[in-house]
Amino acid sequence: MRIARLAGEDDKWFWGVLNGDAQTVRRLVGPMGSWSAWAATDDYRRLPLSGSEEPVSRFRLLAPLDPAARVFGVGGNYRAHLERAGISVPPAHPVAFMKPNSAIIAPLDEIRYPPTTEELDYEVELVVVMSGSPAAPVLGFTIGNDVSARDATGLGGLDLFSMKCLDGTTPLGPWIVTPAELGAAVQPHVDITLLVNGELRQQDNTAMMLWPVPELLNYINDRVVLRCGDAVFTGTTAGVGFEDGRFLQPGDLIEAAIEGIGVLRNTVGLRQVIKPDVKRP
């Protein structure tokens, strides 16, 4: 099952179930929490679906994130990524952080190039979306591009706030694919790739995670109880820009793809500048 969040010309958004080729959609009635447990197990008979199919072309795809949900990220979860960064011994536990919802953008949206960085980087990631159901906690999976400001440094090391939380920089989508669709209850083993202007930069398989999805979710849930709709970025692999200094440039086309889910496409906008008349606190 593929679940998308869409909006029409009136900007009113809704959740819907896409048909097999994503050409038509049937609307889901009610908030995510009222149907997420049934969707997580592909229980079509109990889903509150509208009676007719509508062409997807009538709508625009939004990031498949409920406005009330929270976004979590995990770093250093692929050995290849750590080794390229010169780290031979993995951390003892996942390194997690939170993102504001304002960082998230939709498929095809322009990635904002903030004035606070000159080293904008890409990171293809499998993203887990929670159902809120104890019996089937994972609603499904989608694609994330955890765009990062690599030159963000702070006291004693990285400034994760300035690196990971920038408004309008994190594409998510194009839709949520349920576990049954990927043939995995909780831990998919699927290929992930990322292209910049058609050039392959990242390639790996989610089977190579140092901490599989259940461990990541347990780690976060022990600290912040995960709720229906929450999204968890599960980390990226080798091939990112900071390894060879090839950072993103305005106009770049980024295609992040995950087997069984689809392709998330976005372009980079012009680098913004801080206006001299802006008063800083």
Q: Which domains does the chain have, with CATH numbers?
A: 2-62 (2.30.30), 71-271 (3.90.850.10)
Q: Does the pLDDT at position 264 exceed 80? A: yes
Taking the alpha carbons of 35, 37, 38, 40 in that order, is the dihedral positive or negative?
A: positive
Least confident of 83-87, 89-93, 103-107: 83-87
Least confident of 91-95, 106-110, 192-196: 91-95
Lookup result for tokens 């499904």: 140
Q: Per-residue confidence at 75, pLDDT binned at 50, 70, 90?
A: confident
Q: Closest Cα to residue 72, out of 248, 258, 193, 219?
A: 219
Q: Closest Cα to residue 164, out of 252, 109, 220, 236?
A: 236
pLDDT (mean) for 34-51 = 95
What is the value of pTM for the model shown? 0.94
CB atoms within 10 A of CB 28: 23
Q: Per-residue confidence at 277, pLDDT binned at 50, 70, 90?
A: low
DSSP letters, 152-212, are -EETTEE-HHHHH--TT-EEEEEEEE-HHHHT-SS----EEEEEETTEEEEEEEGGGBSS-
Token pair, residue 193, equals 């790739």
Across the chain, mean pLDDT equals 93
Cross-strand bridge partners of residue 141 = 128, 177
d(C-alpha 237, C-alpha 12), whole Å = 36
Phi, psi at residue 25, to the nearest 5°? -140, 145
Pairing of strands 170-177, 54-55: unpaired
Q: Does the pLDDT at position 275 exceed 80? A: no
Helix (H, G, I), strand (E, B) or coil at 27: strand
103-117 tens-digit pLDDT: 999 999 999 999 999
* pLDDT of 88: 67
- Give residue 27's identity as a one-letter amino acid code: R
* pLDDT of 281: 58
Token pair, residue 275, equals 């206006």
